[in-house]
Each structure stands twice: as structure tokens, then as C-alpha cells.
Amino acid sequence: MSSRQQTTEGGRALEASVGTVLGGRYRVLRTLGSGGMAVVYKAEDSILGRTVALKTLHARYAEMPAFRRRFRQEARAMASLDHQNIVKVYDISHDGEVPFIVAECVSGRDVGSLLAERHGRLSEQTTRRIATQLLEGLAYAHRRGIIHRDIKPSNILMTPGGMVKVADFGIARIVEDEDSMEPGEVIGSARYMSPEQLRGKEATERSDIYSVGIVLYHLLAGRPPFSGDLESLARQQIRETPKPLRKVNKKVSPSMEAVIMKALEKNPEDRYPSATAMLDDLEEGYSARVAGGTKEVAKKSRRARVRLVALTSLAAVILGAGTAVGATGLGYVSPGGEGSSGGVERANVVSNAPAPEAPESAANENREARVVGEMVPVPEVSPYFDYSAEEILKNRGFDVRIVYEYREGYADRGVAWGTEPAAGELAPEGSVVTVYATPKDLFQPQISQ
């Protein structure tokens, strides 16, 4: 049977024990968890025969009009959402005077539990999969005017198959409802909360984006960027710049670091304008990494073939065939295919007569080719930090010069915003690429080598 407590306002608070039937159809199986203002039960729907999750207010909050209003608001917000990456609401019911939400019961675990299992840190690949689905769910909610306001690891659920579902829109707010928040009211988890929320200002889509940035930082670094008591957390979230992610975990790619650090800008206007924009950058950064890796493999293969040609030519000269044999050998050495064996036979019958002297212009062209190197595309390095941009360019075989200039829309802490030649243009390997980056008005520590 259900156990109810009388509240100071005359309302009733729902506290269900195992076996209790709520709303005439939902039999409580066990308690799944308890949050800051609500308790969640696992239950069986006796009519449809499916397992569901029931959520209702804690007894100590049931008598408070503000919390009851927020709870009803949550029910309306969640019921309007129908997306694979958001926990689905089936029904809004009540037992006596006490309302409760009937929602999808997700088998699996939350990301907080996954972090504990993986010793506090996830791989970039796993983090990227979580981030992609999290942002897709948030983008859907944001398009419908719903802000989550409390993104944190325990509100991100994962099924055994790897599907991510955003849970607990319990402090979500319909943006158009101007009267639903008290002035200066702060709700949520300070460790993952945006600076504007901690100041008591209205939360927006960009507030959720900041919280996503904190969560992703936590997943890759093994800890959130800020810690401490509520007062200390608020001060750090509002004033302090997070340590660059790759300073904490060098295995993180520059593109992932750039996405997360942009999401963590203090000024909402400097963050991504939408979850979709952040998702686009996340996917573009991954595509660029894959393409860059493929190009690097191809470049190494080309270099290997060039070395093979040079070594074969040198061997021919050492064996006494002279300059002509060296020149002929270069024309017939091949990684394989037709003409390979013919090249060997022809080399054996070349005369020992000295080869005609190459024209001076041809010699100059050869020297110039050796200095310039092959043409390779300049990679995109915006909006990476200057040291990451330099690393990427050097790995592609370029020399790097960095020029610091202010640029609107880019934080003043060494963020690359352009190159000369521009990204995508072909430039000789070994040539100088100029990187334009914002001045470091905000302290930006470098990665130790």
C-alpha cells in the first residue's frame, strides 16, 4: 500500500513502497533513484504489461507551490518531446492529489556510472559518440523552445546498445513562459552550470551548450574543470578560464579540444549559437582527422616509393653502370606492374659511354624541385589554439610563422582564425605557412613537450 505524509500546506506527498499500485495501474517494483527534488520508481504498467519509470516529488517539496509548479511544467515539457535521444514520457497521472510522471524505463546506466567503471576517464571515440547523440537530443528540444538547464553525467543515460538518452528535464523551462522563474533563482548542479545561471540570469540554449562542454571536459580529463564548494564553484565558473584540455590529457585531438573550449566561453555570445552548430564542428573535426590520417598515410607511401627509386639508382651507379644507367634506372623502377623486368634488362645493356651533359636549365629545375618539395593542401586549423595549429601544420611538413591579431568572434587567448595560404590551397611542402591567431590577453598555458 502507498504511504502518504500530511504536509504543512495541507497537500499530500507520495512515498510508495514495493508492491504499491499507483493511479490504479502502476505497480511499484523498486526505487530507481532519488534526485534533488524527486524520487524515481521502477514500476509495471498492469494494463499494457510494460516496465515504466514513475517520477514524483520528494515529500519535503510536495507542499511548496514553486516546486509543484515546476514539476507540472516538467511533465508538459517532456510530454511534448519525441526523439530517440530523449527519455520518452508516456503518461501524466496522479494518485490522490499527488501527480507523477510515467516515463520510459531505460535499461543500462548513466554516464556518471560509466565514468566510475572506466576509472574516471573515457576515450575520445566513446566521448564523441556520447556527445553526438547528446547534442542531437538537445538540438531537437531547443528547436521546440525547451531548455534542459541541468545537463550532467547522471542525467545522460546509455542503453546496453550504446544509445544515449537525455533524462530529467525536471528543471526544463518553456522559453515563452516568462513568469515561471523567480528573479535570481538558481536551479541545477553548480559543477556543470553556466556562469549566467549562477548569476541568476535566464538560461538559454547556450547555457545548455556550456554544460555540455563541462561534461565532455570531465569525460576526457577525468575531472570537471572546476571543483570546490558552491561559493568556490560559482566564482570559478564566472571568472576563471579552464585549463586547456590537452594540457590535462595529451591524447585528446586538437579538433576535439577546440570544440569543447569554444563551448566553455564565459560570454554566451562567444559560444556556439546552437547545439546543431556544435555538432557540425564536432563532426567536421572528426572528418578532418580521418582525411588527414589518410593523406598522411598516402604521403608516407609516396615518400617510400621515392626512396626506393633513389636507392635503386644509387645501386646501379655503384655497380659501375655510370651516369647513364642511373638516369635510365629512374625511368624504369616501378612499385609493380608492366615494365618492371624490362627495366632491369635494359639497364644491363646500356653502353659505358658517358651520357650527354644535361642542359643547365634542367639542372636548375631539378635543384628547385628538391628544395620546394611536393604540393600538399594547407589544413584547416581554425579555431584551434596556436600551439595546436602549429603542431598540425608541422606534421604536414610546413614551417610555421604565427602572427597575433585581434579577430571578432574569437577569444583573446591564442586562438587561430586564419592562415596564409588559406586552408585547402596547395602549398609546397617545406614552405612557410603564416597562422593568424588572437593575442593572448587571457592566460593560456602551453603544452609541455
Residue ranges at the known binding site: 55
Give the burial string for 204-227 (b: 16+ CB within 10 Å, else e): bbbbbbbbbbbbbbbbbbeebbbe
Asked whether the beta carbons of 333 and 309 are under 8 A apart, the reply is yes
Q: Where does 397-444 have alpha helices with state H?
A: none
Question: What proportions of the chain, in percent to the nearest 5, are helix, strand and coil?
Answer: 40, 20, 40
DSSP collapsed to 3 states, 69-84: HHHHHHHHHHHCCCCC
User: Given the C-alpha cell 499494457, which residue does it identify?
Assistant: 48
Give the burial string for 346-359 (b: 16+ CB within 10 Å, else e): ebeebeeeeeeeee
Following CA atoms 92, 93, 94, 100 in sequence, which dihedral angle do they give, to the nearest 10 degrees? -40
User: What are the CA-CA distances from residue 139 to residues 19, 136, 360 (Å)?
Assistant: 39, 5, 64
Give me Rg for the CA atoms of the chain.
Answer: 31
- Residue 150 bears catalytic tag: yes
Q: Which residues are annotated as a binding site for ATP?
A: 55
| Number of residues assigned to the chain | 449
Report the alpha-carbon distance of residue 196 to residue 192 in Å, rounded. Answer: 12
Strands (E), 148-307: 156-158, 164-166, 173-174
Catalytic, out of 150, 208, 281, 386: 150
Residue 397: exposed, middle, or buried by beta-carbon count in 10 A (0-12, 13-18, 19+)? middle
Asked whether the beta carbons of 105 and 89 are under 8 A apart, the reply is no
Following CA atoms 110, 113, 119, 124 in sequence, which dihedral angle do they give, to the nearest 10 degrees? 0
Residues with catalytic function:
150
